[in-house]
Amino acid sequence: MNATGAIQDHIPEKFDPAEVRNLFPALAREVYGKPLVYLDNAASSQKPQAVIDRLVRYYSSEHSNVHRGVHLLSREATDAYEAARKRVVAFINAPSEPEVLYTRGTTEGINLAASSFGPLHVGKGDVVLVSHMEHHSNIVPWQMLCETQGARVRAIPVSDTGEIIYEEFERLLSERVRLLAIAHVSNTLGTINPLKRMIRHAHDMGVPVVVDGAQAAPHMKIDVQELDCDFYAFSSHKMFGPTGIGILYAKAEHLETMPPWQGGGDMIETVAFEKTTYNDPPHKFEAGTPNIADVLGFASAIDFLEGVGQNRIAAYEQDLLAYATERLSEIEGVRLIGTATDKASVLSFLIGDIHPYDAGTILDRLGIAVRTGHHCTQPLMRRFDIPGTVRASFALYNTFDEVDALAAGVRRVKEMLG
């Protein structure tokens, strides 16, 4: 039986979060003598047993380096490694396999685009446009590019509800803008940006678009052809796969002109001291021995997501988010940060004047894992004039009972520190 079939055998026919939870061994543990309530999925999600088993199987009986090997293990590893790329192509509806590059994650994908594509398009006096809600990984690489090119980064402001102010986007999209870098979903606010409209508008001005899809890929179907984005980066570890592996989708027309950003084995065609010629995409951008095991684990995570059903997951998570929003809004003194109409399953909040770190520490002792701080979005924190937030982020294995536990935990924080 193939890996996909084995995973399907363990997925309930009807979506039941209680049954889905049983597929994730980490969720069965206790912390401080209490059942773990894991609400830190926007940082990194837990892994189903099928993904763990895939990693073990590879290291136990399949390990070999990929590409160029003539022996059986190398050929088997290469076949599995490239089959995983095909899975990603189908998952995001990419036009072709060469347009899907393996990276270490979203951060590396954006850095690759900034380092290789950026200098070809951004020059002195030009502008790279981002938004106030971007993760640092979609700000700093562009600042580094602009410092070397004599360009500058400008930010699209967001409203009090945490939504792009579209009129400001239109105003800022001037003839000096050479690139738009935008999050599909905000990691802090959960805001789902009007990506298709923004990309169409940018393209009308001849501006290519790089999308940070780290927070979107776990929660919704991604279709890069429908979006018509130029680049789309996302990570395995936020979508129930291993850490250290991610994807950068890039249009073929860009990959053909972009220079390699790292040199070494596998990205070359010929090497001589006089001149080196480079491999074709995607290998042109994948120097050295790759993260083979985690690529295979990532493919298993995709099988898992599609086996459960992305539309079913999205509908359930929306119900969970609506319930959590209602329960926390009932608590006096709780202030929700980010109340966009269109949101993914992220809930950021403050509890009166209580510092987020103190709130998170008490919640942790109650067995509730949340994230506190600025969430790598310091400009956004300054926009709202706050030191940070408590962030609860939900996944398909979270339950309404866990939302009740969170609400009770917040009330306990108020009792102790309010």
Return the active site residues: 376
- DSSP 8-class letter at 231: E
For Cα atoms 235, 239, 243, give the angle at the middle one, nearest 5 degrees.
50
Between CA 295 and CA 67 the distance in angstroms is 14
In this structure, the strands spanning 30-31 and 34-35 are antiparallel
Q: Where are the alpha helices (DSSP H) in 211-309?
A: 224-227, 252-257, 292-308
For Cα atoms 326, 332, 333, give the angle at the middle one, nearest 5 degrees.
110
Between CA 90 and CA 360 the distance in angstroms is 39
Side-chain half-sphere CA neighbours of 10 within 13 A: 18
| 133 neighbors 340 (Cβ within 8 angstroms) | no
For Cα atoms 232, 238, 242, give the angle at the middle one, nearest 5 degrees.
105
The CA–CA distances, whole Å, from 44 to 39, 244, 271, 403 equal 10, 12, 40, 19
Between CA 325 and CA 9 the distance in angstroms is 34
DSSP string, 129-197: EEETT--GGGTHHHHHHHHHHT-EEEEE-B-TTS-B-HHHHHHH--TTEEEEEEESB-TTT-BB--HHH
Find how far residue 222's CA is from the centre of its chain: 12
| 363 neighbors 413 (Cβ within 8 angstroms) | yes
DSSP string, 2-23: -HHHHHHTTS-SS--HHHHHTT
DSSP string, 62-74: I----SS--SHHH
User: Can you give the C-alpha Rg of the chain in angstroms?
Assistant: 22
